[in-house]
A and B are shown apart, each in its own frame.
Chain A
Amino acid sequence: MSSQTINLTLKVWRQNKNNPRGALETYPANNISTDMSFLEMLDVVNEELTAEGVEPIAFDHDCREGICGMCGAVVNGRAHGHMPETTLCQLHMRHFNDGDTIVIEPWRARAFPVVKDLVADSSGLDKIIQAGGYISINAGGPQDGNAIPIARDNAEKAFNAATCIGCGACVAACPNASAMLFTGAKISHLALLPQGKPEAKNRALAMVRAMDELGFGNCSNEAECEAECPKGISIREIARMNREFIKAAFS
């Protein structure tokens, strides 16, 4: 695919200790190759800002191959931008047009306070996992890996739920800032496996409680989370979480 260059106008959320309320600032992004990723485009802008003596835009990122879950911003109102099943680092500039204006904001949610510019604190997701997103087993001498066969269909479903990268886009996309897709994915992953069954009840109750206590909202079936999830996780996981929760609450 041949590459072209395009010129863009960025409106970027800037917020720091001297400007705690934050505001959108406008910067040009010129001669952007359409083969660049979105974050590489921001790198280029940051190099220019640095040369001009303006502090570069802070944004979280690490693996830049769509798996670590650290990057993410709201681009023109969409979490991770407008391409389906794509993290911000995998969004490429060939999906934008010359002359576009792009508005870039951090995740917005009560449970995700902004740290600086596009960096938000999503550590609440770790706390939800701490409440029960694990199987209680110590390193030591477990039985042979093939001792319990797992039907391929169930193993696949568990895998699909387990592909969540914990990026927080579901929370950012939800009008209620709910973390139910994230929580549902973990509860489903473990509930679908025989190893996860013994703790399924406590897990569902504890993780849902943690989610509420941390200030995440509730689900009102908007399905925005599913639409923006870069890993294509389905809201069926929320339904499964609700079944697990109800089962646990009434038994």
Chain B
Amino acid sequence: MTLESKIPAGPLHEKWDRHRFDLKLVNPANRKKFEIIVVGTGLAGASAAATLAELGYNVKNFCIQDSPRRAHSIAAQGGINAAKNYANDGDSIWRLFYDTVKGGDFRAREANVYRLAQLSVNIIDQCVAQGVPFAREYGGLLDNRSFGGAQVSRTFYAKGQTGQQLLLGAYSSLMRQAANGRVTIFPRREMLDLVKVDGRARGIVVRNLVTGELESHSAHAVVLATGGYGNAYFLSTNAMSSNVTAAYRCYKKGAYFGNPCFTQIHPTCIPVHGTYQSKLTLMSESLRNDGRVWVPKEPGDKRPPEQIPESGRDYYLERKYPSFGNLVPRDVASRNAKEQCDKDKGVGETGLAVYLDFADAIARDGREAIADKYGNLFEMYEKITGEDPYVTPMRIYPAVHYTMGGLWVDYNLMTTVDGLFALGEANFSDHGANRLGASALMQGLADGYFIIPYTLGGYLAGASLPEVDASATEFRESEERIREQVDRMLSIDGRRTVTDFHKSLGRILWDECGIARDEQTLEKARADIAELRAEFWQNVKVPGDAADLNQALENAGRVADFMEFGELMVKDAIERKESCGCHFNTAYQTADHEALRDDENFCHVSAWEYTGPDTDPIHHREPLYFENVELTQRSYK
């Protein structure tokens, strides 16, 4: 099968308009004849489910938590980009498009990114109309701030809780549709399989997490909005239930996986402090508007920060990147933090941290002004570390945060399985090899509010979809396979817990497929994961039974998939013999230690096709064409 990106013809700025005109429509009276499954209730899932219901489709919306409002989009802190140019500082759709393509190190499709920049302005309008309480200036108009990789202020925000407010906006629209019966919400359900009938996605099998029952649901199309796979690393900023299972099981059913090795490691997180730790907490990138990053100039200087005079400090980002300073993109900031710690300039008990210092900003603007902008983040930092960042600088270190990789989709957001769509972080599109701050919320909502309502209609109007219900044999077979796996995991009764295996996997991936990789570490990772996976199926201990709320069992299934998926990540990283964005192979770097791309050989999306549990996946390549921007070495100096 060849990969068809289905990018419309015509000039960049006309592609989406033309495409919307070319897409077939479903007559309003006919929409109620279609059932759509949406899996996930984050920004992409909730906005898609609500919008499709508004159009008149019958929607079934599934989530893993007890309520759709819990989805991890809620934790996004800093903001959402939009090319409104309210700040009158030179922003435009073209500039947002350019910044995003460049920020992604030229590994995203031009047409997708341009569409995203175009739609960004509609998102803000939509959210304001829903009652999202964005930050405002005294005159009553919307306020903006800056984020990494941009020299304009285009980020809209609601203190440090932008994701929460945007998600509650989408959730309120979803609840409105649930009340009028257009959407049925299925909480505490985990998708365990995609069901295909005659080659098309026609339903899913979920496990009811309260009763343990397997439930089959049929539909005319399936929309996956299940987020990213950062928890493969065990420690990440993701929520505890974030996982790859839904996407991975679609991959096993024929959906190609795009760029799995592109994992964003966010530079400003609270550092690791113990082996019992269950997750890492992000400190928003917006803090880099006012916080200054520094380490001691001398290696091994263990004095407390207040005893290190100005002359003994190295503000290394400001020194190395004078035009972007502390607001360089995330991949650049993360690599530099690691480089400083590798030189024994790291701070704190573990030496794996750098300072993010607000003393100058507090002296300049006053404590109140800083509290106004970042109050909740400072409180969160203090609760976790027991230190007051108004008085002593924050200690921060990079942590796994977001995955640019995901299911491969075409311009319509459809995967290689007909009728299966992937939105938001679950797909691979738009962010290339590195996502800029405040762009994830933008992409999730663009996909859900403004893209899928059109492209899904185009699919339904053009496909012949005979009636299928959940009693079809394909559903029974799928349930049977899931039951077998569940029974097998419960019967092993070994000596190591699921969490213990997950921690081992995370350690392998972090050490050998983390901020920096090379061929040797990656080959080692491959062998280590294969060995761990073999042990898992011999020695895991899963207590309890299948017909119950059993959180260890839920985790066991997720960790089993993370291990197989980890091998795919590593394989993808080995095959991409260049550095780009977050994929930094130390063999390919410039004299200044920046990522060195190989556009001759690797200007493509890698899309992987599953062939079996112990056979190598097939590597497909979608070439990327840059007709509107020039491929350059990224520079933020």
Contact = CB atoms under 8 A, between A and B. Distances in A.
Contact of B47 (A62, A139, A189): A139
Contacts of B126: 137, 139-140, 142
The secondary-structure label for the interface of chain A is: loop
A152 to B, nearest CB: 5
A137 B278 contact: no
Contacts of A150: 136, 140
Contact of A163 (B71, B161, B241, B543): B161
Interface in A133-179: 133-146, 148-152, 155, 158-159, 162-163, 165-166
Interface in A102-155: 115-116, 119, 121-123, 125-126, 129-131, 133-146, 148-152, 155
B75 interface: yes
B544 interface: yes
A56 B552 contact: yes
A55 B544 contact: yes
B175 A133 contact: yes
A70 B70 contact: yes
Contact of B173 (A62, A64, A134, A141): A134
Interface stretch (B382-390, B412-420, B468-476): B382-390
Interface stretch (A32-40, A211-219, A221-229): A32-40
Contact of B159 (A144, A159, A165): A159
Interface string B239-260: 1110000000000000000000
Interface band, chain A: 35 or more
B557 interface: no
B276 A130 contact: no
Contact of B387 (A1, A129, A151, A196): A1
Interface stretch (A6-14, A19-27, A43-51, A240-248): A43-51
B74 interface: yes
B278 A43 contact: yes
B36 to A, nearest CB: 15
Contacts of B497: 47, 50-51
Nearest to B172: A134
B239 A62 contact: yes
Contact of A65 (B65, B75, B168, B500): B75
Contacts of A63: 70, 72, 74-75, 239-240
Interface residues of B, number: 83
Identify which of A53, A141, A145, A165 gathers the most chain B CB atoms within 10 Å of its CB. A145
Given A43-B276, A63-B74, A195 B54 contact: no
Contacts of B281: 64-65
Contacts of B124: 145
Interface string B534-557: 000000010110001101100000
A162 B278 CA distance: 28
A65 B137 CA distance: 28
B67 A125 contact: yes
Nearest to B176: A134
A50 to B, nearest CB: 5
Interface string B469-492: 000000000000000000000000
Given A92-B384, A142-B125, A155-B136, A40 B276 contact: yes
A76 interface: no
B351 interface: no
Interface in A52-103: 53-56, 58, 60-70, 85-86, 90, 92, 94
Contacts of B453: 139
B386 A145 contact: no
B570 interface: no
A66 B70 CA distance: 11
Those 3 A-B pairs whose CB atoms lie nearest each other, nearest first: A149-B140, A134-B172, A142-B129
Given A133-B175, A134-B172, 9 more contacts: A62-B239, A64-B279, A65-B75, A139-B54, A142-B125, A146-B86, A159-B133, A189-B133, A195-B128
8 contacts: A3-B273, A3-B274, A33-B276, A139-B449, A150-B136, A158-B131, A189-B131, A195-B130
